[in-house]
Structure 1
Amino acid sequence: MAFNDDESMQASKAEHLMARALATSQVEQDDYIDSAPSAALTKKDLNRMAWRSLLLQASFNYERMQAGGWLYTLIPGLRKIHKHPQDLANSMKMHMEFINVHPFDVTFLSGLVLAMEGSKEKISTIRAVKVALMGPLGGIGDAMFWLTLLPICAGIGASLALQGSLFGPIVFLLIFNVVHFGLRFGLAHYGYHAGTSALTLLKTHTKKISHAASIVGMTVIGALVASYVHLSTPLIMHAGKASVALQTDVLDKLMPNILPLCFTLVVFWLMKRSFSPVKLIGLTVLFGVVGKLVGFL
């Protein structure tokens, strides 16, 4: 009787393994079961995708990065495109793989991916496009938003705030988000309607766009350093009867604002040595207090 029980258990285990293998082969297939192109997504669908992309990093983790938010962005479009349950499952499984892209221009990629999903491209092809565009979009996004748009908008807002205007932070948020949301929604529609034809254009001009935006961003940051970093010394050097003011008679003659520049370069050097922003803020406060007490600043 025990022998029969063992045989039945082995048979049940074999059936279970066969079922798992069959399910795995179905999930990992490259072609969709329903290969007929789907109906085009509407403007409402694309706008909904753009709104949902705001939660791209809501479930950020170090294993799959933005995968949860990425799938959340695409789910309404995928449900409309894939009518066959297995096709929807295969697509969702693929989109839960590792992805890390800039959160502001991600809608270009999501629109492009939905266009490819609607055309029922191979799953491996869609995966390859995702992987190929993560890097370029990240570089363009960093150059356009963090190095260019953010310093310009923050500079305008800070300038108003320093003059005592309560509209400083409001103007900053208004200008920044007008550009941000304009690009977020515009890129969603452009990526979807351009489809794969946009790949060649993006690959051709990625370096040019990033280089131009980096130049503008570095110029703006240089101007902000000269305008908003204030650092001077009251030290006076005595040589016999002559007195020389270190700041006005020496440093300003060499280069105006040389102390703010040196301080900024030191902070940058410390950042390259993996100092956190919190530590740098603390060191800046400590340097200012100590420098004032000893009469250096």
Structure 2
Amino acid sequence: MPDTGLNNPALRTETVSMPVPALVPAAPLTTKLRLSMLLRCLAIQGSWNYEILVGNGVGFCVEPALRQLPGGVDGPQYREALARQSMYFNAHPYLAALAIGALARAELEHVPPARIERFRTALCGPLGSVGDRLVWAAWLPACSLVALLLFGFRWSPLGVVAGFLVLYNLGHLGLRDWGLRAGWYHGLRVATALGHPVLQHGPRYIGLVSAVLGGLALPLAAHRAIGGQNPLSPIPLGVAVATPVLATLLVRLQGRAEGWRVVLLLLAAFVLYSVVH
């Protein structure tokens, strides 16, 4: 067998000790840069279109960080990076901040363009599904039920709207800010941030809270809608408390009690209440 040189100890030592190019550390995320990118995140859907969806918005949000590339805004690296970040991208608009922070850091660390493009493509699915479950399916309905509860407690229309907007925006702005900082901190290892307990378990717990809020809010709102004056009177307040308790009981009895028996029990309770009352 011909000698290929693989058994030469000197060659093996030289091959192992060859230096591997290291990534250039990204500049720190200063308060000014963070606020600039965060404000731009609020307009990420401003140029939404059917061809590249929020791609232009991602480029717009990343742009303040790209100014730190060698040569500044007049350099070729800036133009290439901005064009790369303005390509097709699809994600939940709030959780897109996680991608923006990670992509900005990747560009400043001079990660190879092919790797950045693969990274952008891989982020679309997780950020879309996690964001939809957390925001549209959990947080938004919960805030709406809180507003309905405020209406039942006879808040003014302006107070109900203000209460909803304050609560909802506290959550959505906090999510954007956290995503931007987490994306910058983790960089290409942003999958670690996607495992955050709030993202993974938040929808389930918010859903449980929403069920209780619905049981409290719907009877009180209906009482006010039909002209009731005092939401703390015994009847509406009793119904509001009994509804979530009954719902919890039905969930506990699921699979252990037949539906017709539960209905008959409820009808008997209503008849007894009518006779006594």
Please give the TM-score of this superposition, normalised by the length of structure 2.
Answer: 0.63
Aligned residue among 165, 185, 201 for 2:155:
165
Aligned counterparts, 1:142-291, within 5 A: 142-166=132-156, 167-199=159-191, 201-202=192-193, 205=195, 212-220=201-209, 222-223=211-212, 228=218, 253=263
The answer for unaligned runs of 5 or more in structure 2 is 1-22, 223-259, 267-277
> Which residue, out of 82, 106, 118, partners 2:108?
118
Structure 1 spans left out of the alignment, 5+ residues: 1-34, 232-249, 257-297
Q: Cα–Cα, structure 1 residues 135 and 209, in superposed 2: closer, same or farther, change >3 Å?
A: farther
Return the letter of the residue paired with 2:144: A
Q: How many angstroms apart in 2 are the aligned matches of 1:160 and 1:131? A: 43
Equivalent in 58, 61, 71 of residue 46 of structure 2: 58
Is the aligned partner of 1:46 residue 2:38?
no
| Letter of the structure 2 residue corresponding to residue 120 of structure 1 | H
Over 4 Å off, 4+ runs: 35-38, 208-211, 220-227
Deviation at 1:48, TM superposition (A): 0.8
Partner of 1:268: none
User: Over aligned residues, Cα RMSD in angstroms?
Assistant: 3.1
Is contact 1:139–1:210 with CA below 8 Å preserved after alignment?
Answer: no
Q: Distance in 1 between matches of 2:265 and 2:36?
A: 53
Measure, in 2, the Cα distance between the counterparts of 1:154 and 1:39.
41
In the alignment, the residues of structure 2 paired with residue 99 and residue 255 of structure 1 have an alpha-carbon distance, to the nearest angstrom, of: 55
Tell me which amino acid in the other structure corresponds to 1:77: A
Shift of 1:213: 3.5
Cα distance in 1, alignment partners of residues 181 and 200 from structure 2: 25
Shift in Å, 1:93: 1.7
User: Residue 120 of structure 2 corresponds to which residue in structure 1?
Assistant: 130
CA deviations over 1:210-261 (Å, ceiling 9, x no partner):
6634433544555566553999xxxxxxxxxxxxxxxxxx9983597xxxxx
